Each structure stands twice: as C-alpha cells, then as structure tokens.
Structure 1
Amino acid sequence: MYFDGALNINGVGAGILFITPTKDKLRYVLRIHFLASNNAVEYEACLHGLHIAVELGVKRLMVYGDSTLVINQLNKDWSYSSEKMDSYCAEIRRFEGKFYGIEYHHVARDHNQIADQLSKIGSSRTAVLLGVFIQDLLVPSIKEENEVVEVPPTEQLVLVVPSPVADWREQFVKYLTSAKVPADKTETERLICQSKHYVLADGNLMRKSAKEGILQKCITQGEGVKLLLEIHSSSCSNHAALRNLVDKAF
C-alpha cells in the first residue's frame, strides 16, 4: 500500500494505491473537507488505507509513504510531535491487530508518484479518472478535547453547522405586515432601516438586490447550511473557486 497527502488553496486530499501480489492496482482518492496539517493529512491517508485493507480481507501488508515523520513515528523510531499525532498513531495501532503482519517503509517521493497524483486529484477537486474509487471525509478520524485549529492565511471554506436558532426572518415579516417593532429603541431603528431592503411576495420574505432590483428569496439558517452542503459535498460536488461557490449559493 502506498499513501500520500496534499494541500492546496482549493482543498485537502489524499491518495492511496494498493498493488496486489498479481500486480493488479487499486486506486483511491480521498477528498477531505476539514482543515488539517500536512502531517495530519498523511496520517488520514495511512489510516483510511488500513480501513480499506481490512475491508478487502488483506492479512499481510507492506505500507510505503514518503513522509519521514509519519513512517518513523509508526516504526517507533521517533517520538510523537504532538497529542494529535499520538492519537493518530494510537488509532492505527488498533488496526494492526487485524493483520498477520504489517510493515512500514519510507520511500522517496519519486517512488510514490501514483499516490501523489491521486492525492492532488483529491485536493484540487478535479475530475476523478475512470477506475478510481473516491470517498469524501467530512470530519477527522480522531477527536481531541479542547482542540484549537489555526486557520492558515489562505482562502478557506469553513462550513459550520449551527445549533437550531430562531427564524431570523420573523422580525421582518412582523414589521412589514403589522408594523410591530421591538421594545428596544436601538433595535427598532435598526429594524426600520434594514426593512427597506425587504418586501413580501405571496407570503415569502424577499430581499431586493441593490443594483438590478432582483428579488432574492430569504431562507432560514438551517436551509442555508443544507444548501451549501448540497452544493459543496454531494456526489456531484462543485469544483468552482470558493468565492464563486458562495455566489452560486446566493
């Protein structure tokens, strides 16, 4: 099994290649939809490769990767660099018991080109080649308490599913239908000012576009999250740039 991970401005991805004793090749692309470091992506690739190997009934496995840190940590030649890496290693150790034998070997990047190409397909969100299996990973394989994720200084699409909240449209509907305003004076002034941009059409709250005068249907926060998930994470996921993706949703 060969594995590799990749990060770029479009996203995060990983590639896995299996070569059977008869030289048949199985290729897998992982599209990762959460922020992760280079090392975490390599661990995700290795871990999911072991998942797949177990499902395929593999009992003896040679694992090859070009990440010096990951291979040396799995071979216990290096100590863990962080609690997260420790958690990944512990999760991988759980799967080792499902094999009669498993070994980890470091290879040069030149000898890991197929896995590298597969990982770049996953990170760039380009079309997947015929005969390649694909999987979307929405959450990390490990969990850490009080984990703080540092967002790199590049354009990122972070999709947060919020807890149920009150329907934000309700205050505008009440004001437009009955002129009902909040008790707080400041809130009343804000509502009156913002309401100039909204109208009711067949009972639906619509926002008027400032330039074209186009009416845009207003939806709940939950419906908005569902819409973004359908556009971004479905089986026919969107490959547009992140700003274009948001424009498409609007």
Structure 2
Amino acid sequence: MDEYEACILGLIAAIEHKVKTIKVYGDSTLVIYQLRNEWETKDSKLVEYRKLVLKLIREFEEVTFHYLPREENQMADALVTLAVALKVNEHSSMMSIGMQAYGYPTHCYSIEEEDDGNLWYYDILLYNKYQNYPNQATENDKRTIRRMATRYVIDGEILYKKSHNQVLLRCMDTK
C-alpha cells in the first residue's frame, strides 16, 4: 500500500506541474507488474489503489512503468538509512497523527482581502514575478517585501513558500 501511495503522490505532483510524459520507476515488483497489467491485483486493499493510479494516468499522454531493483535504487536506500536512524524499539510508543486534507492550506481559509482589495500574497507575487513594488510602497515596505519574497518561489502559475528545510509548500494558484 505504501508503494501505491508513493506512486499516487508522485503522479499528482506531476499532474499539478502539467507533465504530459512520465516514466515511473519503482522497486516493488508487485506494484509495477500490476500497473503494467502483467500481474492480477487480487488483494482487495490494493484494487482501489490500482484503480486510482489508472484514473490518474489518464491525465498523461504517455506513461511507462519500470521496475528498478532495490539495490539499484539509491534514493530508497538513503530513505531507509534515515528511517533506521530513528530510535524506536518494541517498547516505544509512537503517538499517532490525525490528518485531514483541505482544498487549500488551512491558513488560507482565515485570510481575507487586504485594504487595497488584493489577497495577502499579491505584493510578494508582484515582486517575485516582475521585481516591482506596489505604487504606495514606502522604503520600509519595499525592504519588507524583498525580505519576505526570499521565502517564496513561483513555479508556473503556483506560488510556493519555502519551509525551513527547503521543502516547497503550495500557497495558491497565481491566476
């Protein structure tokens, strides 16, 4: 199930970036061969995952699935090494984390238009796209905008905030 979930998340990210041709590499023979229709999907838990992947791949013009043996998958090895570094034993109890999915990041639901009629990210967007400031910006405002803009990046029409570990957090479509 984890392998299918990782595949689904990767496909969603590719769809959001308007990728049309994609090669999917995986080290799970089960998942790769099921998605290539070479093996049947009998486990009822995996059937729904496979259906979702097949639905998502309709968004692409070309999709291929390739099996990559674990010993050749250096990224997976690095992730396993990190996982082993966590100090967990049979007597450890790990608190579960509840999660919910929202259409937008939760902080966006509480943000209203500013006094100038623009959304909260407009000044950052203006600076990152065109290196321009709002007409009424003071020197202090400009300095603040430049400082804040370094924490955001635009990819296509999507504004992302860089987290402390350089992971990009999606803010809003800029259309």
Could you state the TM-score of these two structures normalised by the residue count of structure 2? 0.48
Higher relative contact order (CA 8 A, sep 6+): 1
Higher Rg: 1
Q: Which has the higher helix share?
A: 2
More strand by share: 1
